[in-house]
Amino acid sequence: MRAFILSLAAGLLFVLACAESTESPNIKQYPTSTPYPTHTPKIISTNLEVQVDTVPKSCNSNAISISKEWKDILTSASFTKCVMPFGVLIGADYRMPDSYITQAAMILAEILDPDMDGSPNDPKVLSLVQEYHNAWLPMPFDPEPWHSHLEEQLGNKLNSYGLMIPKWWMDGEGESIRSVPDEQAKNVMVEEIMHFMTQFGYSRAYPEIFGVENWHSLIAKETKHAACEWWQHPENDCPDNPGYYDGDCSDPSCDVTEFYHQVVTTRAGMELGWRGIGFPKTKEELESKLSDEIKAVLDNPNYNQISKPLTFSYSYAKPMPTTPTINPL
């Protein structure tokens, strides 16, 4: 019995000695020959946050994950500011205020991630709109060079469609740009980003529902059903009611995209930057005109369509696992 007790005591001493010598995995260990510090290190949290990119950077920055060829072409055209929320490219003229670029990035991020949990809700759609070689979002500043040569030049060199968010639509041609975007500027951003998402994301991911290449998809048929009854793009003609703007938006890639943006935005309870001829002014009036089929799609969470007003302030910060460190002396 005495031998057993001595053996047990020795075992306990061994366990205690091992426990006291065990090192915390991430705490810096000072050499035993160093007499300082004499105090006990205080463990502090480094609970860092990872944020979705909505802050513009130089297009030449390593943080902008586009090819060097693209960086050189954009820079040569004075598009020196870039941002890539969830990897989707927005490129802006050097004169575009950072506040406008950030606002556009926040709108895009919120449309991709409406519940703002840091993860885009539809990976299939995300992968399509990340393809900057196919389409991107330019933010030009001056209409004269853009229309005279820059738009065509960039299109030819980049071989990618640039769906623009121009300064002159947001603040008016010849008007001084504001320090921060107003409601009109935000409405323009929402519209153009929705066009981008519809044409290059939703329509390619789910062509039978959101397709804009022909009149066979669900939203195209809805547009046809509404045409000249309660929807008319101002560039298009209707019997006894010709369009009043120069241009032609009769192709489905234009007409369906414009119509669908107004449907989604109005149904979500948001203001439009402009309203189609005859288009309902209230959500309730619109609801009475839409088919059950399109309402079912809009309400289907699998398609992640906007269902409530955007916050315009996308913010997501994901806590990293806490790592103990030593508080500096």
Write out pLDDT tens, residues 255-281: 999 999 999 999 999 999 999 999 999
| Structural domains counted in the chain | 2
Write out pLDDT tens, residues 85-125: 999 999 999 999 999 999 999 999 999 999 999 999 999 99
Percent of the chain with pLDDT over 70: 81
Q: Which domain holds residue 173?
A: 53-183+201-205
The Cα diameter of the chain in Å comes to 112
pLDDT at position 176: 86
Residues 179 and 247 occupy one common structural domain: no
pLDDT at position 52: 83
User: Looking at the domain assignment, is residue 16 inside a domain?
Assistant: no
Q: Whole-angstrom Cα distance, residue 26 to residue 323? A: 7
User: Looking at the domain assignment, is residue 148 inside a domain?
Assistant: yes
Residues 97 and 179 occupy one common structural domain: yes
Q: Where do runs of H (alpha helix) occur along 22-97? A: 68-76
Comparing 29-33, 65-69, 76-80, 244-248, the range with the smallest average pLDDT is: 29-33
Residues 6+ apart with CB under 8 A from 254: 233, 248
User: Looking at the domain assignment, is residue 138 inside a domain?
Assistant: yes
Supply the pTM of this predicted model. 0.81
Query: Among the three residues 170, 205, 240, which one is the final residue of a domain in this structure?
Result: 205
Give, in order, the Cα–Cα distances in Å from 207 to each of 33, 67, 171, 253, 262. Answer: 71, 29, 34, 12, 19
Q: Which residue has the higher pLDDT, 136 or 44?
A: 136
Q: Which residue has the tokens 């586009």?
A: 66
pLDDT at position 9: 44
pLDDT at position 53: 86
User: Looking at the domain assignment, is residue 323 inside a domain?
Assistant: no
Residues 237 and 280 occupy one common structural domain: yes
pLDDT at position 51: 55
Q: Whole-angstrom Cα distance, residue 291 to residue 12? A: 77
Q: Whole-angstrom Cα distance, residue 139 to residue 33? A: 61
User: Looking at the domain assignment, is residue 19 inside a domain?
Assistant: no
pLDDT at position 45: 34
User: Looking at the domain assignment, is residue 18 inside a domain?
Assistant: no
Confidence of residue 157 (pLDDT cuts 50, 70, 90): very high
User: Looking at the domain assignment, is residue 44 inside a domain?
Assistant: no
pLDDT averaged over the chain? 85
Write out pLDDT tens, residues 170-207: 998 778 889 999 999 999 999 999 999 999 999 999 99
Give, in order, the Cα–Cα distances in Å from 285 to each of 42, 128, 168, 289. Answer: 63, 34, 32, 7
- Lookup: tokens for 314: 């996308």
pLDDT at position 24: 35
- Lookup: tokens for 26: 């991430």
30, pLDDT greater than 50: no
Residues 177 and 64 occupy one common structural domain: yes
- DSSP for 130-169, please give it: T-TTTEEEEE---HHHIIIIIHHHHHHHH-SEE----HHH
Q: Nearest to residue 294, comparing CAs of 183, 214, 220, 232?
A: 220
User: Looking at the domain assignment, is residue 48 inside a domain?
Assistant: no
Q: Whole-angstrom Cα distance, residue 313 to residue 304? A: 18
Q: Whole-angstrom Cα distance, residue 56 to residue 83? A: 5
